[in-house]
Chains A and B, each alone.
Chain A
Amino acid sequence: MDLLNGPWQRELGRLPWGVVLLVCAIAGFGLVVLYSAAGGSLYPWALKQGVRFAIFLIGALMLAMVRPERWLELAWPIYGVLLVALLGVELVGAVKGGSQRWLNLGFMEFQPSEMMKLAIVLVLARYYQYIPKGYESRPDVLLPALALIAAPVGLVMLQPDLGTALSIMFGGIVVLFLAGVRLWIFGAATAAVAAMLPIAWNLLHDYQRNRVLIFLDPESDPRGAGYHITQSKIAIGSGGISGKGFLQGTQSHLDYLPELHTDFAFATMAEEWGLLGGLAVIILYGLVLAWGIRTAMGATSQFQRLLSLGLMATLFFYLAINMMMVMGLAPVVGIPLPLISWGGSAMMTVMILLGLVMGVARANRQANG
């Protein structure tokens, strides 16, 4: 491995430490929120989350040391393995009866759909790396790419996990967009989706339909399923500009806010830290995304560009959907806020994602300098 051979100090120095600092700041703030959500206690969430973050951060830095070309080589195998794993999940679920989202590997529970969010970007970046300019939108190029997206999306839909399926689809489409597929195709696709919406509606499960309906009118069922959105909006709104103060949130501490440490962690945070806290989180993430875009634009190969920006778009999707959900702009889908919400698998996904992009950044600094 080049890691072992290369000069350590120089390689480490090429890592984007500024972004590592940003990520640590976000995760640190997340730990503060989790500490408060537990009623001012490290247990059961904050301490474990902190340890987990430390481990994942080291893991991400190690991933960043891998040369992007290695990922180019591994793209097809990774995608293939994950697709098989998704099928496996489907089969195990069918055998056991009922839906299942993870495989038990003995030492850990592995959720292939989570990893597929990254793998779809990886495989499409690989795919378009070798498509010459001008050929991107040709049907014989576009259709296989769409098939690459459709296969995992379909499998995840069957689980059924709408949030993850949308996330995979978004990642894939963003890569197509960045690769230069003609804009009119996106316009046409949007129109087609709009036309098919009624059909999709019929395919949705009852609970999914309910979520959409309640999103459209949360007050219709303030004690039932609309409760989440209503209480979350109350938490954010009652925080005001500067918040109620650390450990002073009433919505969270008196259990009015459901899922206060996972999907609705942003509301828990906003209640105590107010608009200023919310803007801080948005700006910190904005800086991370901006760094990601800059990294992508400065990368030296189409693969690296597509990979890094596609991954950043996936991160953005997490953030945007979660925040829109807690603010009542999107229906309730089980998407956590990266680095702040309690939960290992989402954090792992995001840290791997950041590790990959950091690797691209490192490789290009190496090339330039």
Chain B
Amino acid sequence: MDDPIRRAQFSRRALLLGAGMAATGSLLAGRMAWLAVFEGETYRLKADGNRVQNRLVPPRRGWIVDRNGKPIAMNRPDYRLELRPADMEDLDATLIAIRGVIDIDLAEELRIRDDIATQPRFMPVVVRSGLTWPEFSACNVRLTTVPGVAPVQSFSRHYPESDRLAHLIGYVGAPTPEQYRADRDPLLIYPGFRIGKDGIERHEDRRLRGAAGAAQAEVTARGELVRELGTRPDQPGETLKLTIDRDLQTYAARRLGDNSASVIVMDCQTGDVLAMVSMPAYDPNVFSTRVPARLWAALQEDDHTPLLNKSAMGLYPPGSTFKMVTTLAALEAGVDPDESVLCTGAYRLGNNLWHCHARRGHGGVHMHRALPLSCDTYFYVMGRRIGVDAIAAMARRLGLGQEYDLPLPGQAEGIVPDKAWKQKRYGKDPKKAAWREGETLNASIGQGYIITNPLQLAVMTARLASGKVVMPRLIADKTMPDFPSLGIPDTHLAIVRQGMIDVVNARFGTAPAARSPVADVLIAGKTGTAQVRRISMAERRTGVLRNEALPWKQRDHALFVAFVPAGAPRYACSVILEHGISGGRYAAPIARDVLTYLFEPERALAVLPAIEADAATRRTERSTSEAAAAIAQENRRMMPSWLKIDIKPPVFEVADPDAPQPPREPE
């Protein structure tokens, strides 16, 4: 019955099959060895990556306080709900789930969808911030199982002085995707984590940021916590103490009213910047969350440039406040202070006349009267005699044309022109590159190429007042700086200081408005009124238009620099009102009040109500007229002249007229 041939054939095939099985078995064993031995390390890491969840504990941002320890930037607890698009499964379902717990209105939903569509997927999207405690706990209970939704408790930055320190301190905001790509620091995509975006917040970000802590936990695939594996506490950021005096800063900001202006107050001996105000400004509390697009547009369009830190980034011709530089340069060049110059109201160079601000002239003017009178002619003569390079050298010694080592993200360097500068600037065209005498005349009264920022003017004044190479500083540390001497003889400085005292206090000075109301404290200063437009010959003939009659943008800048007390200088100050018409009339009183505040705050505060009421009325007037203009603009927009109503008559379906009536409802 059993055929041996068949059996042999079966055996061959059986062995073949067995060999196939053995081969498969070795393949499996080899594959397993490959997974477990050669790739074992990778898979072990992956298994741990599954099992161990690293949670960041974001550090609290350091506070910023003023010189007396009053808070300038602090943290407030904030509850928010965030979406992490990378973990989310279905946006619509997620939103429905969220709606079951908190309200999201249509605008918010649109914003969320927009953010999710435009941002990279690893960036968290805020659903709503500023949740109340009951809302937050409801989210915690009912939304933790929805993937990609995270209730977050964090600290939000709060600036108690809102816009008064905005430009100096800056604000915080979410890191940009580029920053995360560059750093790969997981903290940067931690929901609600903020970094400094401007001002000191940005420059000192590393110090303020602190170091993140970490918590490791073992979790199941469904995200349930099995056990904590250990935590490393976070390291809060440092508290940053500034040299700013918060109260003085606030006072100065209020005193400016609705001007577009900058005020800087410095300590002449230590270089401490006590106040650095740039107004108008934005509210950093708004900027630290989300800025409404309309507000952003309004801030950008405002001709008072609320987004610009005028104190450090604004550039203005120094005008007559530069005359101290020319005076010192002349003294250094050996000019006799008693030498008299005849001012007839104009100075002739070639075919052109350089005018003095006094049309009839000052008569005979020597150095002691030149500053109080601010006689342009005197400085034309002296400037021409000593040359622009001597003036420029002195300007640089006094701190103009340079950036200081300050924790600000940007400073405008300004220009201190001399022959080398012009050569460099216009080198390609030899005709333009040569320095011309007329330019020296302009430079000697602080016009022409020369341009400075308000901070440089304050430093210049501090250096004049102290005779030392004062460097400004914003961050208070224990060490008292010891500045070297400027190397300018005291006799020279004394002449300049006396001139500045006379500007304010002498009968013939240009700034009687800056006289100190405080007994025994004399203010010394210098006015400046910097032209921003060319005055044509035709206009000169018919009489220069009064500044007040001009549109705001064409008015002169008003400047005033001062130090106090005149006898033993302690504080230096610079005030710039953009298009403020006249330094003596408008900038000087502001400097007077701000400096008064340092000695008698009550007296200084007493002037505020009137100024603020005035500013408020002007602000309302401005907004009503702007609103009216906007409406007018809207009304002027017309439809085209060929407009024609184009509506076709409606067409009705007519049923077959012969059709019998179908059965109807009884009427």
Contacts and interface: CB of A to CB of B under 8 A. Distances in A.
B21 A180 contact: no
Contacts of B51: 250-251, 254, 256
Given A178-B17, A327-B35, A297 B10 contact: yes
B36 interface: yes
Contact of A241 (B11, B13, B27, B37): B37
A179 B48 CA distance: 52
A309 interface: yes
Contact of A254 (B11, B27, B39, B50): B50
A240 B36 contact: yes
B2 interface: yes
Contacts of A190: none
B14 A327 contact: no
A241 B35 CA distance: 10
A87 B30 CA distance: 42
B25 interface: yes
Q: B interface, by DSSP: helix, strand, loop or mixed? A: helix
B32 A327 contact: yes
Contacts of A236: 32, 35-36, 43
A66 interface: no
B547 interface: no
A256 B29 contact: no
Interface in A154-174: 174
Contacts of A290: 18
A300 interface: yes
B233 interface: no
A325 B110 CA distance: 45
Given A238-B43, A255-B222, A279 B32 contact: yes
Contacts, number: 138
A146 interface: no
A289 B28 CA distance: 15
A358 interface: no
B648 interface: no
Contacts of B33: 275
A239 B5 CA distance: 49
Contact of A251 (B10, B39, B50, B219): B50
Contacts of A336: none
B436 interface: no
Interface residues of B, number: 43
A362 interface: no
Nearest to B36: A275
Given A236-B35, A296-B14, 11 more contacts: A133-B3, A178-B17, A238-B46, A256-B51, A278-B32, A279-B32, A289-B18, A293-B17, A302-B7, A302-B10, A327-B32
Interface in A277-318: 278-279, 282, 285-286, 289-290, 293, 296-297, 300-302, 305-306, 309, 313, 316
A73 to B, nearest CB: 16
A305 to B, nearest CB: 5
Contacts of B48: 238, 250
A293 B42 contact: no
A29 interface: no
Contacts of A316: 21, 24
A235 interface: yes
Contact of A237 (B6, B13, B29, B40): B40
Contacts of B425: none
The 10 closest A-B pairs by CB, nearest first: A237-B43, A238-B47, A255-B221, A275-B36, A237-B35, A238-B43, A238-B44, A254-B220, A240-B40, A250-B51
A348 B131 CA distance: 60
Interface of B: 1-3, 5-7, 9-11, 13-15, 17-18, 21-22, 24-25, 27-29, 31-33, 35-37, 39-40, 42-44, 46-48, 50-51, 218-222, 226
Interface residues of A, number: 47
A103 interface: no
Contacts of B39: 237
Nearest to B32: A278
A293 B222 contact: no
A300 B10 CA distance: 12
Contacts of B50: 231, 234, 250-251, 254, 256
Contacts of A254: 50-51, 218-221, 226
Given A238-B46, A255-B221, A297 B37 contact: no
14 contacts: A133-B5, A133-B9, A178-B10, A231-B50, A234-B47, A236-B36, A238-B40, A275-B32, A300-B2, A301-B2, A302-B2, A305-B7, A324-B28, A327-B31
Nearest to B13: A178
Contacts of A301: 1-2
A231 B2 CA distance: 52
A126 interface: no
A226 B29 CA distance: 23
Contacts of A231: 50
Given A180-B9, A180-B13, A254-B226, A233 B43 contact: yes
Contacts of A179: 10
A23 interface: no
B159 to A, nearest CB: 42
Given A178-B10, A289-B21, A309-B17, A240 B37 contact: yes
Contacts of B25: 282, 285-286
B318 to A, nearest CB: 65
A133 B3 CA distance: 8
A41 B5 CA distance: 55
Interface of A: 133, 174, 177-180, 231, 233-241, 250-251, 254-256, 270, 274-275, 278-279, 282, 285-286, 289-290, 293, 296-297, 300-302, 305-306, 309, 313, 316, 320, 323-324, 327, 329
A104 B15 CA distance: 41
Nearest to A174: B17
B63 to A, nearest CB: 41
A235 B51 CA distance: 12
A309 B16 CA distance: 12
A203 to B, nearest CB: 27
A254 B14 CA distance: 44
Contact of A255 (B10, B40, B47, B220): B220
Contacts of B43: 233-234, 236-238
A363 B146 CA distance: 63
A282 B28 contact: yes
A236 B29 CA distance: 12
Nearest to B38: A237
Contacts of A286: 21-22, 25
B593 to A, nearest CB: 66
A251 B25 CA distance: 25
B450 to A, nearest CB: 65
Contacts of A255: 220-222
B6 A133 contact: yes
A233 B35 contact: yes
Contacts of B11: 297
A251 B31 contact: no
B36 A282 contact: no
A239 B106 CA distance: 51
Nearest to A274: B36
Contact of A235 (B13, B14, B47, B226): B47
A316 B39 CA distance: 27
A106 B3 CA distance: 46
Contacts of A327: 28, 31-32, 35
B47 A320 contact: no
A180 B6 contact: yes
Given A177-B17, A289-B21, A305 B28 contact: no
Contacts of A250: 47-48, 50-51, 218
Given A240-B40, A254-B221, A301-B2, A178 B32 contact: no
A279 B1 CA distance: 42
Contacts of A238: 40, 43-44, 46-48
B473 to A, nearest CB: 54
B90 to A, nearest CB: 13
A96 B2 CA distance: 50
A54 to B, nearest CB: 28
